[in-house]
Structure 1
Amino acid sequence: MAGFPTLSMSLVATKARRVASAIAIVSAVTLAAPLPASARGPESFADLADQVTDAVVNISAATTGGTTRERAMPQLPPGTPFEDLFEEFFKRRGQGGDAPQAPRRASSLGSGFVIDSTGIIVTNNHVIGEANEITAIFNDGTRLKAELLGKDAKLDLAVLKVKPDKPLKAVKFGDSDKLRIGDWVIAIGNPFGLGGSVSAGIVSAHNRNIDQGPYDNYIQTDAAINRGNSGGPLFNMAGEVVGINTAILSPTGGSVGIGFAVPSSMAATVVDQLREFGETRRGWLGVRIQGVDDQTAEALGLEKARGALVAGVDEKGPAKPIGMEIGDVIVKFDGKDVKSARDLPRMVAATPVGKDVEVVYLRKGKETTATVKLGRLEDGEKQANLAKDSGVEKPVARKALGLDLSSITDDLRRRYSIKDDLKGVVVTRVDPNSSAADKRIQSGDVIMEVGQESVSSPADVTKRVEALKKDGKKSALLLVANAQGEVRFVAVTIE
C-alpha cells in the first residue's frame, strides 16, 4: 500500500509531461499559423486614400453684410462730463460718430465631396449656413465659386455646384445598410482648417440617436473627426461614401473617438431631391406620435412595448380619411415592422409622395389594416389648423390619481391661458408624491381621455379610473394637453 502513492505520483508526473508537450506543440502550431487578414486589419490605407482624396474638397463659406462695431460708443446723456473726450476717442478708432463702418464678415470652414464629375458637391447644411459666398478648394489648390442648389436642415445636408474647366474626380455612395459594427472606415476632411487629412477607425455603432432631429439614425465611428471635418465623407474599404460626417461628442471640442455620420442610405435620396428640385419632398402621414413604454403598453393591453402611439391626427392629413384616431398604435408601415416611435418618421419620410401605403395599427387590442395615400410633409408643415370650438361646463371639482380636477370655466381658461378649443378636465393641483407628478403633469394641463375614452367632467375621470381598477389595470392611460393644445399620452399608476 505504501507504494501506491509513489506510483500514482509517477503517473501524474508522466501525464503532466505529456500535456505540457501537447500544449507546446499546439502553441507552436498556433504561433506559426498566420491570422486571417480580416483579423489583422489592412496593412495600409494609402491605396484607398490615393483613390479618393482628390474627390474631397475644403469648403469656405462667408457671409458679408451689415457693419462691424465691436465696441459701440457708450450712450451718454447730453452734457455729461468728458462727453467730448469719449466722442473723439471712438472717432479716432473708427467706432463712433461719423466714421465709416467696415462691412461685417463671418466665415466658416468645413469639408465636402464631389459626387458628379460635372461639379456636384455634397456638404453639411451647417457648414454653409446663410453664407452668400461659398468656395470649394480642391486638393491641387484650385478654388472654385460654388452655387447652392438646395439644402435640408433636418438631415443637415446641402448640395453645391461648381463649374470646372475639366471633369472632376468623383466618388459614389455605397450601401450603409451593409456596414457591420467593427468594419474599417476612413474619414477625410479639413480639420481645424489644416486641409485634406485622413483618419481611420471602425464602425462603433449603428442607429445612434443624438437628439438632433426627427430622423436621427447616425453611424458612430471612432475615426478621428474634428471641427472642420463636417460635411466630409466617411468611406468604406471599397472607396464608397457610406456616411457624411456631421457631429462629434466631445467635452474638449476635439475628437475623443465618438463621431457621427449621416448614413448614405438616408442621404442619397435627399441629395437626389435637392439636385432635381432644390428642395426635399418627403412623405407625410399626418399624425403626431410618441413612444410606447412598458407602462403605456400595459395600459393599452399590448403584450410588449412596440410601435408608435398616435397622439394627434391632422384634420387635413392623409391619416384622417382612413379613420385613424388618437390612441391608435401603428405597428407596421408599408410592410415593415415599426419597432419604436423613432422608426416611423424615417419610414414615412423615405416613402415617395402620393404612394398608396398599407398601414397596420392597433385599437383597443384589435388589429386594423388600412391603405393611405401619402401627402407631402413640406405641404403639411405649412397648413394651419383652423378648427375652433367652444363649450364650457359648470364648475365641478373632484380628486383622482393624485390630481385636483375641475371642469373648464372661463375663469380657469384665463388663469391658465387654455386655448378656446380645448375640451376636457383641467388639473388645478398635483400631489407632489403622486405618479402624476413623476410624469410631469402640472396645473393647467387638460385631461382629454382616460383609458382611451373621452372625459368632459371630473366625474367622468373618477368613473373611468374605477372601471380600470375593476378590470385589473395597474395604470390609467391619460391623454393630456397643455394649455397650448399640445397633447401627449401619460400612463399614471392607479393607487
Structure 2
Amino acid sequence: MPEIKNDQDMLRRPQRQGSIVFVWYLLCLLVPLSLAQSVSARSLPDFTELVEENSNAVVNISTTTEPKSANRGGSNGLPFNDRQLEQLPEFFQDFFRGPQSPFGGGPGGSVPRQSMGSGFIVSSDGYVLTNNHVVEGADEIIVRLNDRRELPAKLIGTDPRSDMAVLKIEGGDDLPVVRIGRSNDLKVGEWVLAIGSPFGFDYTVTAGIVSALGRSLPSENYVPFIQTDVAINPGNSGGPLFNLDGEVVGINSQIYTRSGGFMGVSFAIPIDDAMNVFRQLRDNGSVSRGWLGVLIQEVNRDLAESFGLKRPRGALVAEVMAGSPAEKAGLQAGDIVLKYEGEDVTLSSDLPPMVGRTPVGETATMEVMREGRQITLDVEIGKLPEEGAEQASAPASGNNGPSSAPLGMTVEPLPAELQESLGVSGGVLVTDVARGPALDAGIRPRDVITELNRRKVTSVDDFREAVSSLPEDSAVSVRVVRQGRATYLVMKP
C-alpha cells in the first residue's frame, strides 16, 4: 500500500534539502578560507634561525662616567638624553634619576653615572660598531658578550654627525662577527629584525618592516635614515638591524616619540654609510665628508611652476657660500640641481648624503636647471668644515629712493651696513607689507629681496623694473634673505 504523506511532510522535505545545500555551501566557503589562513600563517617569516646564528655577535655595552664638574650640564649618562627623559612619566624619571637608580642618579650627582646600549662585532679581532651617544663622555666601556663574558673596550673614534662610534674589544680573539649586507638593496615593505637591550633587557628581538628609505632628520643632514616600524626603545641604540638573509643592513639609532617610548617610528643608519664611517675611523681616527657649500631648499609645486619645471623635483640653491666649491664651479642662487653623478635628485634632502659620500678632491658632475634650460657643471668637492663655513660679505652697491609697489609691500634701498652684515651684494629692504600677494607669499618687514622672478635685484630701480614685467596670474619666485639665511618664496601677482 503506497505511503501517504501529509502536507507538513511535503513541506519539511524541501526544508531539509535546503539545509543540506546551505551547509554544503558554508563548507565550500570555510574550507578554502581556513586553508588560505593556514598558507598565510606559513608564509610569515620564521626568525628563529636568524636569531640563533647572529645573537653571538650582538653585544651589550655598558659605560661608566665618573662625576666631574666639567660634565655637569652635559651628557646625562642615561640610555637617552635629558629631553627624552623629561617626556617619560614621572615614575620613570624617578627611577632613572633617583638616588637608588642603577644609572647613578642622573646628571651632576656624586655617584658615577652608568649607561647602557647595544652594538655588534664586525671583525674577529674585536672591532664593534655602536652609536656615539651610547659611549659619549664615558670613562670606562665594558662589552658583554652573549656567553656572559665581560671585556673592556677602547674607544677608537666617534663621528657625532652620523652618531657613530667604533670600539675595540681588548683581550678578545676569534670573536663571532655579523655578516654585512647592502642597505642600498633594501625595499620598502621588506621584513627586518633588530636585536638589542631595550631598558637593559639583554638580547631582546623585535621585528617589523621597512617603512621608508632616505629619511632626512633635522639634526642629521648627511645620513639618509632607514625608517622602520621595528619596536626600538632606549637601550636598543647601536644595535644591528638585520634583513631576512641574516645580514646587517642598518644600525638602530633614533626613535620618534612623544611619550619617551616606542610609537611605531624608528630610524636606522644605513650600513653602507656606516661602514664608510667605520673604515675612516679605524684607519684615520676621523671622518672626512664631501662639501659643496650651498644652502638648499625643497622645490614645492608653486616653486616648480615659477621655475618652469613640469613637476616638483630637485634641490633649489638658495645661497652659495663665498669661496666654496659650488661658487668656484659656477653654481648660482636660483639653480635647481636635478642630478648628481647621474643620480636623480628627487628631494632636496637627497643631495647632502650624495655629496657627503663623495671623496674629498674628486670631481662630480651635476645637471642643473638654470633660467629654463638644463646645463652641466663639474665641481671639485671640498671637505666639510668642522664648524661650518661663514659666508663672506660682499661690496655695497648704489640704490635709489623708496618704492611702493602694487604687490602690497613697500621697499627702500638697503643700507650699506646691512649689506655687509648679511653678506649680500645689493637688494632692497622691505619696510612695510599690506594685504596682497607679498603678504600671502610670506614676505615680512625687514626681509631683503635680492631676486624677483629670476631677475637679480640690486637696487630699487631693479625692483621697479622687475615688478613692471611680472606676468599676470602666474607664480613667480622671490629670493628673500631673512636673518642672514636665504630662501625662495612663491608670489602670485
Note whether the superposition's TM-score is higher than 0.5.
yes
Provide the residue aligned with 2:407 in structure 1: 401
Between stretches 185-194 and 327-336, larger displacement belongs to: 185-194
Please show how residues 40-439 of structure 1 align to structure 2 within 5 Å. 40-43=43-46, 45-67=47-69, 105-378=112-385, 383-391=389-397, 393-409=399-415, 413=417, 419=422, 422-431=425-434, 433-439=435-441
TM-aligned CA distance change 1:130 to 1:404, over 3 Å: farther
| Offset of residue 228 of structure 1 | 0.7
TM-aligned CA distance change 1:409 to 1:324, over 3 Å: closer
Whole-angstrom distance in 2 between the partners of 1:315 and 1:102: 46
| Offset of residue 251 of structure 1 | 2.7
Say if 1:113 and 1:121, in contact at 8 Å, map to a contact too.
yes
Query: Aligned partner of 1:488: which letter?
Result: T
Secondary structure of the residue aligned to 1:280 is coil
TM-aligned CA distance change 1:270 to 1:36, over 3 Å: farther
Whole-angstrom distance in 2 between the partners of 1:210 and 1:39: 37
TM-aligned CA distance change 1:397 to 1:293, over 3 Å: same
Provide the residue aligned with 1:490 in structure 2: 489
| Offset of residue 295 of structure 1 | 0.8
Unmatched segments (≥5 aa) in structure 1: 1-13, 71-100
TM-aligned CA distance change 1:418 to 1:356, over 3 Å: closer
Query: Aligned partner of 2:399: which letter?
Result: E
Whole-angstrom distance in 2 between the partners of 1:224 and 1:423: 53
Say if 1:394 and 1:409, in contact at 8 Å, map to a contact too.
no
Cα deviation, 1:132-161, whole Å, max 9, x if unaligned, reads: 322222223322222222222222111111
| Offset of residue 450 of structure 1 | 0.9
Secondary structure of the residue aligned to 1:117 is coil
| Offset of residue 118 of structure 1 | 0.7
Whole-angstrom distance in 1 between the partners of 2:195 and 2:310: 47
Secondary structure of the residue aligned to 1:217 is strand
Secondary structure of the residue aligned to 2:50 is helix
Q: Percent identity?
A: 37
Whole-angstrom distance in 2 between the partners of 1:38 and 1:363: 55
TM-aligned CA distance change 1:271 to 1:310, over 3 Å: same
Whole-angstrom distance in 2 between the partners of 1:345 and 1:270: 16
Say if 1:149 and 1:274, in contact at 8 Å, map to a contact too.
yes
Provide the residue aligned with 1:461 in structure 2: 463
Whole-angstrom distance in 1 between the partners of 2:71 and 2:28: 79
Provide the residue aligned with 2:84 in structure 1: none
Whole-angstrom distance in 2 between the partners of 1:302 and 1:200: 41
Whole-angstrom distance in 1 between the partners of 2:341 and 2:41: 37
Whole-angstrom distance in 2 between the partners of 1:39 and 1:50: 20
TM-score scaled to structure 2, two decimals?
Answer: 0.80
Secondary structure of the residue aligned to 1:186 is strand
Provide the residue aligned with 1:445 in structure 2: 447
TM-aligned CA distance change 1:424 to 1:269, over 3 Å: same
Query: Aligned partner of 2:291: which letter?
Result: W
Provide the residue aligned with 1:6 in structure 2: none
Whole-angstrom distance in 2 between the partners of 1:69 and 1:271: 27
Secondary structure of the residue aligned to 1:342 is helix
Between stretches 130-139 and 344-353, larger displacement belongs to: 130-139
Say if 2:399 and 2:413, in contact at 8 Å, map to a contact too.
yes
Query: Aligned partner of 1:424: which letter?
Result: G
Unmatched segments (≥5 aa) in structure 2: 1-16, 73-107
TM-aligned CA distance change 1:473 to 1:348, over 3 Å: farther
Q: Size of the alignment, in residue pairs?
A: 442
Whole-angstrom distance in 1 between the partners of 2:28 and 2:388: 75
Query: Aligned partner of 1:492: which letter?
Result: M
Provide the residue aligned with 1:88 in structure 2: none
Provide the residue aligned with 2:478 in structure 1: 478
Whole-angstrom distance in 1 between the partners of 2:380 and 2:59: 41
Say if 2:59 and 2:144, in contact at 8 Å, map to a contact too.
yes
Whole-angstrom distance in 1 between the partners of 2:352 and 2:71: 45
Secondary structure of the residue aligned to 1:297 is helix
| Offset of residue 232 of structure 1 | 0.7
Say if 2:121 and 2:127, in contact at 8 Å, map to a contact too.
yes
Cα deviation, 1:254-281, whole Å, max 9, x if unaligned, reads: 2233222122232222222222222222
| Offset of residue 26 of structure 1 | 7.5
| Offset of residue 358 of structure 1 | 1.7
Cα deviation, 1:192-238, whole Å, max 9, x if unaligned, reads: 12222222223233333443321353222232211111111111122
Secondary structure of the residue aligned to 2:385 is helix
TM-score scaled to structure 1, two decimals?
Answer: 0.80
TM-aligned CA distance change 1:310 to 1:257, over 3 Å: closer
TM-aligned CA distance change 1:236 to 1:276, over 3 Å: same
TM-aligned CA distance change 1:435 to 1:167, over 3 Å: farther
Between stretches 106-115 and 381-390, larger displacement belongs to: 381-390
TM-aligned CA distance change 1:420 to 1:237, over 3 Å: closer
Secondary structure of the residue aligned to 2:312 is coil
